[in-house]
Every structure is written in C-alpha cells, then in structure tokens.
Amino acid sequence: MDVVTVPPDAAGVEDGGMLPPAGSLVIYTGDASSRTWRGLREAILRADWQPVRDTPGPKRPAKMVAASHFFDVRCAGHTLVRDLVLPAGTPFRTLTLPYTGGPVADADFDVVEHIDRGASEVRTEHLLLLRAPELSRVERELLESVGPELRHIHMGPPRPCGSYTTMEQVTAVVERMATDAVRDKHRAGVVPGERAMALPEAVAGEATGQQGDLAASVARLLATRRRLLFG
C-alpha cells in the first residue's frame, strides 16, 4: 500500500471533493481495472491535488452481488478498521479517520486481505493519504510526547463526515495529561515513570502550581487548556 502525505495547505487547493480534509487519514481502495480509479490514483501519486478534489464521488451500488476480498487496515500492528470490501462495479471507495498530526511512518501502515473468506471478484489497489492539521507549538509538543509504541492512537475511529479538525482530540489529551499531573504532584508515593505520557514541564507547572499548593481546580485547568490551544 502506498502512503502519501498531503501538505496541510494542500498546495493552495480549496477543500472539498475527494481531497482529504485537514486532520484526517483517508483510505482509498480502487478497482485496478477502472479508468476512473487509475486517473485518481495517478493524480494522488504525482501530488496533483486539484484533480483529486474534482474527482466525483463514487455511487453506491443498489445491490452488492460481488466484491473484493475482505480487508483490514493496520497501523503499527494495531487494526484501525476491519472487514472492508470494494463492491464489484464500484471504481473506488474511501474511508476517513481523524488524524491528530502526530508522528507516524509510512511503513507503519499495512493492509491484511482475508483470502480465506471466499473468492475475490475485484482486483484492488490501496492508497492511504495523511493530512495533518495546522498545529500550534504546544499541540506539536503534546503529540511528540506520545511514546512511539502508542503511535497508533494518533488515528481515531472512522467518521461519517470529513469536515472536522483534531482540536477536540488534542484538547482532550491536554485535559487528561494536566489532570494526571495534578494528581501525581499532590499525592504521596508517586512512582517515577508511571505514566506513559508526560505533560511538558512548563505546562504542568503552570497547571498544577508549586509543590504543596492545593490541586488546581477544574476551572483553572480548563482555562489553561483554552489559553494554550487557542491563544
């Protein structure tokens, strides 16, 4: 499977159509014999985003009488989606997942086809497109603090609509990490290295106060989070 990174600004091409929205991972699966699919695939591989945007979305078949093998898509050995198929007569299909913009490598992704579950009537090809959102410095630091063994968490469950950003995901991470920092700073017997993710020291210090202070209130944590992420 080829993995292609779309720049956050998509080289100036307006959002819409088959162009992945910022903050998304889009899985494209196409019928290798389809001219429509071949044209879309070639445009993606040469990073020509305007024809990608302008490609019409495929129509769903009224009835699925034949299809490709079932297949799963994985990241770093963790299954992101499972049991997908491409119906016969459909040039291609897409599936969109939210993507935080955190560090992942092309080699982390693979497709597992279940050839033991019946014959395939469609020869498929797969492309995976990543488009990170525009991130602030604090957001980048938070995402980079996630250990490499957890890099699969940068992708969320599939969404029915591609119009979203990762801000709600990242702010949830900030809230969880800040809350952990408060708890750890104000309880006895903290085990070093207990948490897999650590809030950057400057952020944790501001959110929790000095050793011996009362734990920061929820309101204070939320105010810090809003200011850090929205300026």
Evaluate whether 152 touches 78 at the Cβ level (below 8 Å).
yes
3-state SS, one letter per residue, for 145-198: CCCHHHHHHHECCCCCCCCCCCHHHHHHHHHHHHHHHHHHHCCCCCCCCCCCCC
Among 55-64, 116-125, 203-212, the least confident range: 203-212
pLDDT at position 88 over 80: yes
Rounded Cα distance, 33 and 121, in Å:
12
Q: What is the reported pLDDT for 161?
A: 41
| Residue 226 or residue 112, greater confidence | 112
pLDDT for 23: 87
Q: Has residue 83 got a pLDDT over 80?
A: yes
Which pLDDT belongs to residue 94? 92
What is the reported pLDDT for 59?
A: 78
Measured in Å, how far apart are the chain's first and last C-alpha atoms? Answer: 39
Least confident of 11-20, 36-45, 162-171, 174-183: 162-171
Asked if residue 113 has pLDDT above 70, the reply is yes
Model confidence, pTM: 0.69
pLDDT > 70: percent of the chain? 65
Taking alpha carbons only, the member of 14, 24, 8, 9 closest to residue 163 is 24
Three-state DSSP at 26 gives strand
Residues 170-212: tens digit of each pLDDT? 455 555 555 555 555 555 444 334 343 444 545 444 444 444 3
